[in-house]
Amino acid sequence: MVKVTSYGAAQTVTGSCHLLKIGSIKILIDCGMFQGDGGSKKNYEPFGFEPSDVHYLILTHAHLDHIGRVPKLIKEGFKGKIIATEATFDIAKIMLLDGAGILQEEYKTISKKARRRGEEDSILEPLYTKEDVKKVFAKKWKTLQYYEEHKLKQHITVSFGNAGHIMGSAFVMIDYQEQNEHKRIVFSGDLGPKQRLIIDEHDKLDRADALFIESTYGDRLHKSLEQSIEEFKEAVISTLKDKGTILIPSFALERTQEILWLLHEMHGSGELPKCRIFLDSPLAIKATKLYNKYPVHLSDKLEYLSGRGKDPFSFAWLETTTTRNQSMAINRVKERSIIIAGSGMCNGGRIMHHLKHKLWNARNAVIFVGFQVEGTLGRSIVDGQKSVKIYGEDIIVKAKAYTINGFSAHADQKDLIDWIGTANNLKKLYLIHGERDKMEIFATAIKNRLGHESHIVEHGNSITL
C-alpha cells in the first residue's frame, strides 16, 4: 500500500514536507522551514512523524522552505540517506550556513530584548546552528544527475527531472511495483515558468500515475519575460541618465544571477550608460560561483559562453564586495552606480544601509525584481509610503520605485497546466504548496482545460494511492 502525508506546504506555501510510505519504506520529500507570519514558531513543533523511522530524505531544491528543517530532522534522529542533485547539495550548504548565521544573529537580538524585560524563559534557541549544518553534510548523501536512476529497494527507484525553478531544482519520480504493476508517483517540487533567462527550462513529464503539484501561482498569469526585461532596462537607463543611483534588492539565488546576466548583456550591447556596479552580498557572490560550476544547467547561450571560458555573470564594470567595510565604502561613491544587495524584501541585510542613504534623493531609484510580502519594508516602498523607518530613523522616500513582475521563478497557471498536460497515464492529481483560495481557482482551471479532478491536500491527512 502506498500512502502520502503532508506535514508542511499543505494549503500553505512554505514548510514543504511530504512523507511517502511504500510498503515498509518511508521516504520524505523535502524538509522545509515555515516562513512568514507565524511561521517561525511552527518550526519548533514536532514533525508529526518519527524522524528515526524515515529511510530516505529526497530534496527537490535548495530554497530554505524546502530544506530549512533538515538540521532539525537530523537532531531528532533521522539516520537515513539524503538524495539530491549535485547542484542542490552544493547550494544547500551555503543556504543553510547563511540561514544559521541569520538565526544566530536574530537570537542574540531577541534574547537581549527579552533579558531587559526579564522574559528570558520565553526565548527559543535558534532553530539550528552552523554546527548542526555541519552534521547535515556529514551524513550519507547520494547525488544524482537528471534521469539517473537510483534503487532504494528492490522495485523502488528514484530519479529526477529538471524543474527549471533554480539551479539544480528537480521534480522527483518514484517508480515502484504494486501487484506486479509498474507505477510512478511524481512530486513537482517548485516548478519554473516555461521561459527562463539563465537556466534550462523545465523538462516535460513522462509517466505520472499520481502527481503532487505545487500551486503557488495556480490562480494567475505572469507578465511576459520579454516585457519585464524591457521594463527593467528602461528603469535602469532612465535613472542612470538622470545621474541617479539604482538599488536592486535581490534574492541571492537565481534572481541576482539573472540581473547580472541582463546587465552584462546591456554592457555588451552598449545600452548601459557608464556606471559602477556593486554586487554587495556575500551569499549572492557564493551562489554565483555555483552557477558557474554547473554550466550544463545554464541556458544554451550562457552554456556556450561558459564553454568558451567566459563568465556570464561577470564583466568589466562589476565589483563584488564581501566585507562589511567594503559595503560601507559604497556609501562614499560619487559616480552613478547600481547596487545589488539582499535581502530581496528589504527586511534585513545590506540593502538596509543603502536604502537609508539613497531613498531621500529623487534622482535615485529602487528596482524591485521580486514579490514583496505584506509587512516588509520593500512592500511599504512599493505601496508608495512617503516615509519609512530604517534602523529606528524616519527616512523620507523620494526615490522612484519600480516593480518588475515577470521575473518569477515559479510557473504561472498556464505553464502549470501545460506541464500537467504532458503527463502520461495520469490518474490522480494532488495540489500542494499553495494557499487554499488560490488552489480552488487552480483546481477549476485544471478541470476546465484538462478535465482532471484534483484534490487539495490537507496537513496531516494521509492519502492512500
Shortest Å, Cβ 396 to Zn ion: 35
CA distance 160 to 179: 25
Shortest Å, Cβ 456 to Zn ion: 20
Shortest Å, Cβ 190 to Zn ion: 4
Using the contact rule CB under 5 A, the part of the chain among 98-106, 171-179, 184-192, 428-436 near Zn ion is 184-192
Residue 415 near Zn ion by CB under 5 A: no
Shortest Å, Cβ 283 to Zn ion: 16
Shortest Å, Cβ 192 to Zn ion: 9
Which one of 63, 69, 297, 357 is in contact with Zn ion (CB under 5 A)?
Answer: 63
Residue of 287, 326, 353, 297 lying closest to 97 (CA atoms) = 287
Residue 254 near Zn ion by CB under 5 A: no
Shortest Å, Cβ 98 to Zn ion: 15
Residue 303 near Zn ion by CB under 5 A: no
Total residues at interface with Zn ion (CB under 5 A): 2
Query: In this structure, what are the phi and psi dihedrals at residue 161, rounded to the nearest 5 degrees?
Result: -115, 160
The cell for 141 is: 548523501
CA distance 30 to 65: 9
Shortest Å, Cβ 92 to Zn ion: 12
C-alpha distances (whole Å) from 151 to each of 208, 305, 353 are 18, 36, 50
Q: Torsion angle, CA of 188/192/194/198, rounded to 10 degrees?
A: -140
Strands (E) in 280-426, as ranges, are 318-320, 337-341, 365-368, 387-390, 393-396, 400-403
Nearer to Zn ion, 198 or 240 (CB): 198
Nearer to Zn ion, 167 or 388 (CB): 167
Stretch 389-408 residues interacting with Zn ion (CB under 5 A): none
Could you tell me whether strands 181-187 and 170-178 are parallel, antiparallel, or unpaired per DSSP bridges? antiparallel
Using the contact rule CB under 5 A, the part of the chain among 78-86, 185-193, 214-222, 243-251 near Zn ion is 185-193
DSSP code, position 111: H
Encoded one letter per residue, x for contact with Zn ion by CB under 5 A and - for no contact, window 135-174 reads ----------------------------------------
Using the contact rule CB under 5 A, the part of the chain among 182-190, 303-311, 427-435, 440-448 near Zn ion is 182-190
Q: Is 157 exposed, middle or buried (0-12, 13-18, 19+ CB in 10 A)?
A: middle
300-324 per-residue burial string, b: 16 or more CB within 10 A, e: under 16: eebbebbeeeebbbebeebebbeee
Which one of 132, 190, 258, 412 is in contact with Zn ion (CB under 5 A)?
Answer: 190
Applying CB under 5 A, which residues contact Zn ion?
63, 190
